[in-house]
Structure 1
Amino acid sequence: MPLIDRLRREIALTGPMMVADYVARCLHDPKDGYYATRPNLGARGDFITAPLVSQMFGELIGLWAVEVWTRLGAPDRFRLVEVGPGDGTLMDDALRAARLAPAFLEACDLVLIEPSAPLREAQARRLSDHDRQPRWVKSLHAVETDAPVILIANEVLDCLPARQFMRTDTGWAERRVGLDDADGLTFGLTAPSAGFVQPGFDIAPGQIFEISEQQAAFGRDLGALIREASGAALLIDYGRDRPGPGDTLQALKRHEKVDPLYTPGEADLTQWADFPVVLEAAVRSGADVTGCRGQGDFLRALGVETRAQRLMQSRPDAAPVIERQLHRLTAPDQMGDLFKAACVFAPKSLSIPGFEG
């Protein structure tokens, strides 16, 4: 039975579904979920991420990891962890750049956290030529803490769904996915259920307020991991760096926005990263955090413009393409401002590349 029919039947039997539960089913349903069965990344797929825009992104992240390792005292054993590695492009580029520091690679235990079987296969293929071969674990809880951890999570938070609440003229309501008169999926409002806490900022009637319990849990677990193991976790995602209202649920198919309720499981569904919630949860777990920087400022601090110039000098024929890639990664009207970078780290004395000054 197709996912949409199973969702209809479940809603008819148990009532309207929380938005977060609906998104989770669309992405991870074992039989028909988007990531479980048909993830489609890249220019010819449904969406593109920064590592797929240009090799410069992954290379700079690799050199960032090398510098963090150096500032940790160059331990002879550490774990390089990537959460949600996509098709493996970021780690492929990062490991290639890290060949400049052979001792870093020699000390590295490469760990990938990926729930999608098709993407695990893609990662294995992509990384097959590297000396450091990855091992896969299921969650942050499975990452050992007997050595420092350097962790990368690019566009992970936006895959952790949020519940949605609306302020009405008579009070608060929760937005849920229900059925219309023709048994089609539709959004509706119900009384808020457990876990709702009114926002600490002004919100006008008719506006949406999102709460992601999964993003908060990720921040909590990440903070605990980094506190216990020491090290640094780099988070890059599109989202908000201060609390505020907004309906950020979107579905992408072939790089076009589509109705999130249309063909469940066949499009990528995302919601904005809530950096304040994630970072606060990490602090409560005992880690320290940086503030947020726009992706453009962060990459410039790591030297992306210098790297682009060197690539253009070595490949003059590709200079226009490289210039467009740099613009896509850093320009305020592209990925430069909407995408944010932040870091969770320990000990407190650790200075984090890209966030100094």
Structure 2
Amino acid sequence: MTAFTPVLPERTAGYLRAGLHQVKGWLNVSTAVYLSGVEAAQRGAGVSGDVAEIGIHHGKSFLCLALDLPADQRAVAIDVFDDQTANLDQSGRGDRDIFEQNLATYGAGDNVDIVQSSSLDLEQAGFVAAGRRFRIFSIDGGHTDQITVNDLRIAERTVVDHGLVVLDDVLNRHWLGVITGLFSYLGDGGSLVPAVLVPNKLILATSADQAKHCRAMFAEQFPDGLEKADVPLAGHQIDVYGDRPWLVRGEDGRSEPVTGHELMATITAARLGELEQQLRSARAELDTTRRQLDATRQQLRTAAQPLYRRAARRLPWLVRPVRPVLRRVRAVVRRPR
């Protein structure tokens, strides 16, 4: 089922429609829609604060948060970039030059601050105590359990009351350090509260009340995306939002699809059931045809044998030259399917 995004600012809408697939990275299209929609909804609700992301790569998800920000808000990009000695688990390889080119291409360069650092060094560098506070803090850096706990602690201490923290790869089977770190953080008294799961990212709020507010905001902004409500997770209730083919709505009133976004979700359950039935029927018909072919081969062998023997007795001079040909014919007839 095709779904409509909330109305998005023009740069954001344009990036989703035509730019997202141009930027290298790992970001589900629907998750890009959810991130962009939440950022716009927060701004519309008057939530103040900057936005930040740990782990930039080329800026694919960062641009969902950084476009069209008000003049008094900044977007902070944190990455080790070419200092790969600080990339402890080799989870991605950021490229600052390409990132800055993408910022310029999509119009986000003027309000972006770049912090080239490991997130493990942020607190010592004064990042937490500096007073900068965020309404959205995206975590997509190192994927070990220790780094995940560190980054959640950094986000917890710098996000505003109505802010949200977005944790990437929480259910990625290749990076189990993330979910291990999440449960360690929650088990050790972390105050962030899980609220919404979108494809490959968990969104956390600053309190149980704010988690309820987040879930209500998602229900209002993305009614067609909800897959399952009230799912238990670590003692909390979350809502699960899935992948959809989106029509991106801009402030100019146009609704256009995300370029190159093709989904199995575009096939309805009824149509999928119909296709499965057709496949079963085709397989049954193929089995019947094979059985008929086997029977026909057997009939041909049975009919040919007496004719061949009779010809061999009466016309040996004729049979002798064609025996090699007949042997090949019999071999083909007897060949298993």
* Structure-2-length-normalised TM-score: 0.43
Instruction: Specify the structure having the higher radius of gyration (Cα).
Output: 2
The structure in which a higher percent of residues are helix is 2
* Structure-1-length-normalised TM-score: 0.41
